[in-house]
Amino acid sequence: MLTQSVAYSWNAALAPDARHIVSTSDDGTVHLWDLDEQRVANRICAITGGLWTEDLWQRYLPQLPYRPPCR
């Protein structure tokens, strides 16, 4: 899951499974970033209640064609 941190991330590495990125921050936090598209889409749908509109898509993913993740 991607989370927001107030600290700067100084180091990042792709995990051996190529499905996660691990990063460390100057406040000592370690973040695990999930790269699995389906799990990320499921998380977006759970958080937004399935209201991932075309406007939201264009705001955060303008370089990609609109494909509603919540069905």
Q: Residue 21 burial by CB count (10 A; 0-12/13-18/19+): exposed, middle or buried? A: middle
- pLDDT for res 48: 82
Residue type for 28, please?
Answer: G
User: For the chain, what percent of residues have pLDDT higher than 70?
Assistant: 89
- pLDDT for res 11: 84
One domain for residues 31 and 51: no
- Provide φ and ψ at 47, rounded to 5°: -70, -40
> Residue 18: which domain range?
1-35
One domain for residues 4 and 31: yes
Residue 31: strand, helix, or coil: strand
| N-terminal to C-terminal alpha carbon distance within the chain | 20
pLDDT digits (tens, 9 = 90+) for 3-25: 555 567 678 899 888 899 988 88
Q: Has residue 42 got a pLDDT over 70? A: yes
| Position with higher pLDDT, 5 vs 50 | 50
One domain for residues 21 and 3: yes
| pTM higher than 0.85 | no
User: b/e map of 22-52 (b: 16 or more CB within 10 Å)?
Assistant: eeeeeeeeebebeeeeeeebeeebeeeeeeb
